[in-house]
Each structure stands twice: as structure tokens, then as C-alpha cells.
Amino acid sequence: MAIRPIVITGNPVLHTRAQEVTVFDEELRTLVADMYDTMDKAPGVGLAAPQIGVPLRIFVYDYADDNGNERRGVLINPELTISEVSDEPADEDTEVEGCLSVPGERFPLKRAEFATVTGVDLDQKPVRIEAEGWFARIFQHEFDHLNGTLYVDRLAEPWKTIAAEVVEDNGWGIDGKSWLPGRDNLEG
Ligand code: ZN
């Protein structure tokens, strides 16, 4: 197991649809183990394979609910269904999102309150999770990664413009930028 570098916005792998997993072997288990290690070290509540430069439809998550129950797992080849997204502006205190591939930044974004994710685990066993609130937000964020969409792509103004300026000011938005959890002091 190993912590892998997290690629930063601008790397084409983050802006391209990832491919279905077709081979369930030891290499896949190692990849997922590395994804958990990298997510935990970052630290983050979710990590998608494209974020470590692997263009496959996989994400891991680790979320503690209001009762302190930890929800942790992997989704392979997931499908997502969501409730309607409100037209109201995102709350600047309670609906603020971040991403390990836009490290250290956070912006308000409206998401659906409810999400259902289905897929399989490493043993190809079916997984189905119904989520609401922050847990649902995590699934929407990670599923977006598998389709080449970052949360900053979804922002409303003025956040969209501000985020674009931040990306430029950091020298991101080009291929080849990454950071290594545990070595580089960045948080997503
Ligand atoms: Zn992200």
C-alpha cells in the first residue's frame, strides 16, 4: 500500500470520462488500497481514481454521520440517481465544498439533498447506498469526477469567476501539477 500523488486541475485525466473497470484482480485491490491510504493521508472524505491519475470508474469514501457512525467503502462502476437540485443560491456557510484536486480552496455549491448510488465492490458484489445531506454530497462530488467534472465546473457566479482566478493565480489549469499528501502541506 502506498500514498500516491494527487493530480491538480488541468491534468487531462481530471477532465475526461473515466472507463469502466473490467478486470477484478490483485492490481485492482492494490489500487483501491492505495486510494484509501491517499484519501486518509490527505485527509479527505472521498477520492476518485482519476485524482491519482488512473482513468477508471472507482471512488472511495469515508464519512462520519451526525451520530458518529463511520461510513467507509468503495464503489466500482457506480451509477447515481439524485433528487432535484434547488434553484436557490448555495448557503455560504453550510453548503461549501472542497476538492483534493483544487487543494486548499472551498466554494459554495448547491447539491441535491438525496442521492442513491449503486455499483459493485472489489468482490463484484452489488452495493446500494441511499444518502442524504453531506453523505449525498460526497457521492455527487465523487461521481462527477468519473465523468470528468470538477465541482468548480458547477459553481454559480460570483464563485465561478473567483475559482477561475484562484486556479490561474496558483499556476494550475495546466497538465503536470500534483501534490503528495504527507509531504506537501495542502488541504482539499
Ligand atoms: Zn474532488
Instruction: Using the structure block, give the residue that is written with the C-alpha cell 470528468.
Output: 148
Instruction: Using the structure block, give the residue that is written with the C-alpha cell 485527509.
Output: 43
The residue among 42, 40, 48 whose CA lies nearest residue 14 is: 48
**Every domain of the chain and the residues it spans:** 6-168
The CATH homologous superfamily to which domain 6-168 belongs is Peptide deformylase (3.90.45.10)
Q: What separation in Å is there between the alpha carbon of 24 and the centre of ligand 1?
A: 24
Question: What residues sit around ligand 1, an ion, with C-beta below 5 angstroms?
Answer: 99
Read off the pLDDT of residues 24-69 as tens digits, 9 standing for 90 and up.
Answer: 999 999 999 999 999 999 999 999 999 999 999 999 999 998 888 9
Q: What separation in Å is there between the alpha carbon of 116 and the centre of ligand 1?
A: 19
Active-site residue among 70, 105, 113, 142? 142
Query: Is 142 an annotated catalytic residue?
Result: yes
- Positive or negative, the Cα torsion across 148, 53, 29, 42? negative
Read off the pLDDT of residues 165-183 as tens digits, 9 standing for 90 and up.
Answer: 999 999 999 999 999 998 8
- Positive or negative, the Cα torsion across 122, 141, 145, 179? negative
